[in-house]
Amino acid sequence: MRLNETTFSIAEGLISQAATIGAEVHEIGGVRVLDCGVKAPGSDAAGLGMARTALGGAGDASLIPVGGRDSAWQECPWPTVRTASQQPVAACLAAQYAGWRIATEGFFAMASGPVRAAIGREDLFETIGMRERPDVAVGVLETARLPPEDVCRKLAADAGVSPQRLIILVARTASRAGTLQVVARSLETALHKLHEVGFDLGRVQRGTGVAPLPPVPANDLLAIGHTNDAILYGGSVTLEVTGDDASLTTIGPRAVSQGSPAFGQPFLRVFEAAGRDFYRIDPALFAPARLEFLNLETGTTHRFGSPMPELVAASFAARG
C-alpha cells in the first residue's frame, strides 16, 4: 500500500477546489492546512473530501439523499453517509481510525488519516502491519481550532517528511464537513471492534457501511453526541468474509453496540459520565447497531443487531 502518496494527490485536488467547497487554505509552520470547517463554512463536498482523505484513497464515501436506495434504513428521514472499500483494513484501520489524540497547551484534536501509517507508533500496527515510510503525508484533525505551528511541525517530523510535504485537513465536529466525515466511520467502527474482540481481519475482503447524517447542532459537544449516536444506533455494516461460519455466529453478538451495558443511553450522557474522555468509555459500545457477514465461501449470511430509529431521532432532536 502507498496510502500517503495516493492521498496526497487527493488532498492537493481539494486544495485546488478550496473556494468551490467552502474551504480555506493556510500555511502554518510550512505545512499546508485545509480548513474545511473550523473558521471556513465548509460543505458536504468538503466533508466527503475529508472522509476520502481519511480513508487513505483506499475507500470511498458518498452521500445518499433521503429516500435513496442505500438509505440507513427504510424510510430513514435523514440523508445517509455510505462508506465502501475493497481494502477495508488498510482504508479503515491503517488510515481512517482516529487512533490518537493530540493534546498540547491550548490545542486538542482527534487525529486520523494515512499520516498514522507514516508515524506507526500505535499498537494496532503491530497486528495489521502497513507501516509506511513515505515522502509525503496527509492527516485529518477533528478540532475546534486551526493547529498551531508547533503541532504542524511536530506532525511532519514524526511522519519523517518536511513540513512542505505534509497536508492537514481540519474541521470541528459541529460543522457540515466535520459531522459528515465522522459519520463516514461506520465501517471503520465495525472493523476496529472486530479487531478488539479477536477476529482475524485477514478474512475481511470487502466492506460497506451506512449511517444517517444528523443536522449540524449549535456546538461541538452536541455534535459529538449526534455523530456517535448515528453509528451506535443507526449504523449498518456489511462485510464480505472468508472462512468458517461457526466463528461468525460466535463473534457477531460481541461486535455490535448492543453488546455494551451502556447501550440504549444517548452517547452524550455516556460521554459526560466518563468526564468527556473517550478512553474511559466502555469500548464495547463503539460498534455499529447492525453487522452483517456475507461468507463468500459458503454463501451464508449472518446478521446481528438492528438500527434503533427512535434512539437516533431522540438524539438528533437535541439542537442546543
The pLDDT tens digits along the chain (320 residues) read 799 999 999 999 999 999 999 999 999 999 999 999 999 999 999 999 999 999 999 999 999 999 999 999 999 999 999 999 999 999 999 999 998 899 999 999 999 999 999 999 999 999 999 999 999 999 999 999 999 999 999 999 999 999 999 999 999 999 999 999 999 999 999 999 999 999 999 999 999 999 999 999 999 999 999 999 999 999 999 999 999 999 999 999 999 998 888 999 999 999 999 998 888 898 889 999 999 999 999 999 999 999 999 999 999 998 65
User: What is the secondary structure of 218-263 as a DSSP string?
Assistant: SSHHHHHHHHHHHHHTT-EEEEEE-S-SHHHHHHGGGGSGGGSTTT
| Domain 3-316, CATH | 3.30.1030.10
Looking at the DSSP bridge assignments, the partners of residue 319 are none
Please report the pLDDT score of residue 245 as a whole number. 97
Report residue 44 as a C-alpha cell. Answer: 458536504
209 DSSP β-pair partners: 83, 237
CA 277, CA 243: separation in Å to the nearest integer?
Answer: 37
Q: What is the edge-to-edge ordering of all strands in the sheet holding 60-64?
A: 60-64, 80-85, 204-212, 236-241, 290-295, 301-305
Q: Taking a C-beta distance cutoff of 8 angstroms, is the pair 169, 49 a contact?
A: yes
| pTM metric for this prediction | 0.96
Assigned C-alpha cell, 284: 464495547
Report how far residue 4's alpha carbon sits from residue 107's, in angstroms, rounded to the nearest whole number.
25
* CB-CB neighbours of 250 under 10 Å: 12
Residue given cell 447497531 in the structure block: 289
pLDDT of amino acid 130: 95
Residues 114, 89: Cα–Cα separation, whole Å: 12
| Cβ-contact 46, 53 below 8 angstroms | no
From first CA to last CA, the distance across the chain in angstroms is 43
Contact predicate 261/205, CB 8 Å: no
The residues facing 208 across adjacent strands are: 84, 238
The string of DSSP codes covering 176-208 is HHHHHHHHTTHHHHHHHHHHHTT--GGGEEEEE
CB atoms under 10 Å from CB of 245, counted, come to 16
Domain chopping of the chain, boundaries: 3-316
